[in-house]
Amino acid sequence: MIVKSIFKSYDIRGIYPKELNKEAAYKIGRAFIEHTKAKTVAVGQDMRFSSPALFKSLTEGITIQGADVYNIGQVPTECLYFTVGHYGYDGGIMITASHNPKEYNGFKTVKKEGDVVNVIRGKDMIEIVEKSNFSKSGKNGEIKEIDIWQDYLNHIFSFVEIDKIKSFKVVIDAGNGMAGKTIPQIAQKLPLKIIPLNFKLDGNFPNHPSNPLFEGATDQISNGVIKKKSDFGFIFDGDADRIFLIDEKGNFVRADITLLLLAKYFLEKNPGKGVAYNLICSKSVPEFIKKWGGNPIRTQVGFLNIQKGILKNNGIMGGELSGHYCFKDNFYSDSGMIAFLTLLQIISASGKKVSELTKELSPYAKSAEINFKVKNKETILKKIREQFSDGKQDYLDGVTVEYKDWWFNIRPSQTEPLLRLTIEAENQEILEKKKRELITFF
């Protein structure tokens, strides 16, 4: 029996083997070919303990449908996107649950369309899997091993000039995830002194949560940066497609501020291009993009929306608060490692400390996203729309209300019974006042 809840808005994910098991993996492999008509499929996997078993069942399903599998082994998710885009395979599947806890696993599925590696929504395959009315292939496909590492490294290094990167002392926290395999290969070409944290691949995530945004996840790296008197630090999530910057004081740098660092760099090289950001980013994001001569592209929350925004609006790159950064010249896909290398060059060129750089881009007081568990999302949203009807409202994603000296967004989660609240104000005093006012609705 297939558990329908594993098919999410953007991927397929569930607890192994209770929700996502070998039978499901086999049928998903077959459904992927049925859905995409792919003949060549790249498959990669992360370091989770269930990944090898899922690989076996998934690829049985793919090959029985007549498609060939190109096994790229244990890699960060972005290597899957690179492989499909660079080698021109029809599609690809990454076996990963990204930043979820150890008991989870899942699949990120993509297909190549022109020069774009497009994500296939998990929910797009529910019906095919449920019916399991698969067409029969005359001949089974084959599984072929390929080594993509050198081509991948050449690709990500094409975004920077190595001789412009200074010899910083940097703490890097791989979170026992795929950055632990990737960073050592990148570091061979860099003049950095790297202080590694949690580089041993371990699907148990023994040292802290795999999601850098979870409470306590950055305590270790923050303390490490201060103790080792490092210039700054980086922390990755489990499959290494999300990256966060830590300044020299051990402070976490919000991803929308990091987006601005990247945006300025890419706009200097590509004047007038678009930069996509989601609507819960600071209002400083569109302000600075306009100031630098770029076109700010406002989107709904979610990487797919950032990708679409770039595609439709002549964009060069984009990002969101979750720490995903997407680049046109990376097949319109996200890459934590391209962001990592580019930030090294940006910080090198600035001649400033990271705290100084980020302060310039953070003129407003902004709260972290606040989550409320609720039974009736729509009733609360309706009350908020009515209560704040004197503000400028839009409904791109939930409800955004803007006033002269503050704004907020309240949006429903796509996967949980939650409403998510973001508030930003001209100063901390206004922020705290408005936060108290909004919390009374829950």
Q: Which residues are catalytic?
A: 98
The closest of 361, 327, 283, 317 to 81, measured between CA atoms, is 327
Cβ(190)–Cβ(170) below 8 Å? no
SS3 label, residue 327: strand
Rounded distance, CA 398 to CA 194, Å?
A: 42
SS3 label, residue 418: strand
Find where tokens 């960073």 sit: 183
The H-or-E segment that residue 410 falls in is: strand 406-412
The amino acid present at 163, given as its one-letter code, is D
Q: Please enumerate in sequence order all residues whose Cβ is within 8 A of that of 146, keeping only pairs 6 or more positions apart, or say none.
A: 70, 71, 72, 83, 87
CB atoms near residue 208 (< 10 Å)? 21
Cβ(310)–Cβ(276) below 8 Å? yes
Rounded distance, CA 112 to CA 89, Å?
A: 7
Dig out the tokens for 300 from the structure. 């709904």
Rounded distance, CA 421 to CA 435, Å?
A: 9
Cβ(71)–Cβ(144) below 8 Å? yes
Q: Please enumerate in sequence order all residues whose Cβ is within 8 A of that of 413, keeping only pairs 6 or more positions apart, or say none.
A: 371, 419, 420
